Amino acid sequence: MGSVKDLEILRHPSGNSPGRGRFIFSDRYSAFDWGEMPDHIPDKGKAICIAAAFYFEKLEERGIASHYVGLIEEGAVKRLRDLKAASSTMEFQLLRVVEPCVVDGGYDYAPFHKERLNFLIPLEIIYRNSLPAGSSVFRRLKEGSLKLEDIGLEGVPEPGQLLEETLFDVSTKLESSDRYLTWEEACRISGLSEAELEEIQSVTKAIDDQISVEAARLGLVQEDGKVEFGFDDERRILLLDTVGTLDECRFTYEGMPVSKEIARIFYRETEWYREVEEAKQRDLVNWKILVKEEIPLLPPELKEAIADLYRAYADELTGVEWFGAPPLRESLRIIGDALRIA
């Protein structure tokens, strides 16, 4: 079980042979690397599943290989166009997950230097088209872990600033808290060659472009997003997990966040969040046990508006009324009012 979706293993991957698995998307959500939060968002699981399938099938048309097989309805694997109703279950090829070792309070990636085929690359690739408020770039610039030249800027950026060229960033995937890396370090720990890194960046740009085009149809601007990759049984790069959803991407509508960033905005004003940030500074691996403050619940009106946002995104993206949700802009108006009150 993950923080937002469950994994059912139909056939375990073995050696160089991929297995087969199913994601069961839940109504849970996560924030700030904590894992499952106390609230559940109604219909979020089905809405995320539908949106993710839409993008996998669109990207497949562009020749981008992924682990996606199809969606499950009445026990059968189906393509999105064949579904009778929204599904929360997706079937996919299952690759091996090789874990880094914890040594002296840090992570050792030596196991990856022995692997060649059929495994998850232990990185998250982030692409940035702009720098919305809340982007980690501002925090990293302030603390000095990121420099202006690293992102091709001459002056300190402002929240909402558009980037002339897409910025690619990379972080760890399998550590207890995501840690940003240099590209040299990313290649070193994962065993990527320079050519493989260039291919990953090229595919990531194609994914970014596809999502941006689809989002623009809905009146949304894609600010940034993240993707994951693996190697198949012939060391070909496969797109993994899910893309283009409100959990993987940050969208805005007339400057307002349209993503799970909405819940983050609420929580950033809480004492619990302040404890989380302090704990991460004190212990990179075991920070969660240092947090004593109880996580507050979302205000009911805000939670329901977020649920309608996920529903409307799936409906309007696919052009199918899976949920019969109110329009995106109506949910965003309610969310804006709720956040101002909170």
What are the CA-CA distances from residue 166 to residues 18, 132, 308, 328 (Å)? 33, 14, 30, 26
Tens-place pLDDT, residues 321-341: 999 999 998 988 888 888 875
| pLDDT interval class at 3 (50, 70, 90) | confident
Judge contact between 258 and 328, C-beta under 8 A.
Answer: yes
Instruction: Average the pLDDT over 198-219 and give the result.
Output: 97
pLDDT at 240 over 80: yes
Is the pLDDT at 4 greater than 60? The verdict is yes
Dist. CA 12–CA 14, nearest whole Å: 6
Assign 36 to helix, strand or coil: strand
pLDDT of residue 341: 58
Is 65 within 8 Å of 341 (Cβ atoms)?
Answer: no
319 band by pLDDT with thresholds 50, 70 and 90: very high
3 state DSSP class of 222: strand
Does residue 185 surpass a pLDDT of 70? yes
User: Residue 290: what pLDDT?
Assistant: 96
pLDDT tens digits, residue range 43-85? 999 999 999 999 999 999 999 999 999 999 999 999 999 999 9
Domain 5-341: homologous superfamily in CATH: ATP-grasp fold, B domain (3.30.470.20)
d(CA 224, CA 215): 12
Distances (CA, A) of 38 to 259, 290, 304: 18, 18, 15
Residue 91 has pLDDT above 70, yes or no: yes
In angstroms, rounded to a whole number, what is the distance separating the alpha carbons of residues 28 and 301?
17
Q: Please check whether residue 70 is in contact with residue 77, taking contact to mean a CB–CB distance below 8 angstroms.
A: yes
Q: Which of 110-124, 136-150, 269-283 has the lowest mean pLDDT?
A: 136-150
User: What's the pTM?
Assistant: 0.89
Mind listing the pLDDT tens digit for each residue in 254-312?
888 888 889 999 999 999 999 999 999 998 788 999 999 999 999 999 999 999 999 99
Backbone angles phi, psi at 171, to 5 degrees: -140, 170
Q: Half-sphere exposure of residue 264, counting CA atoms within 13 Å on the CB side?
A: 18
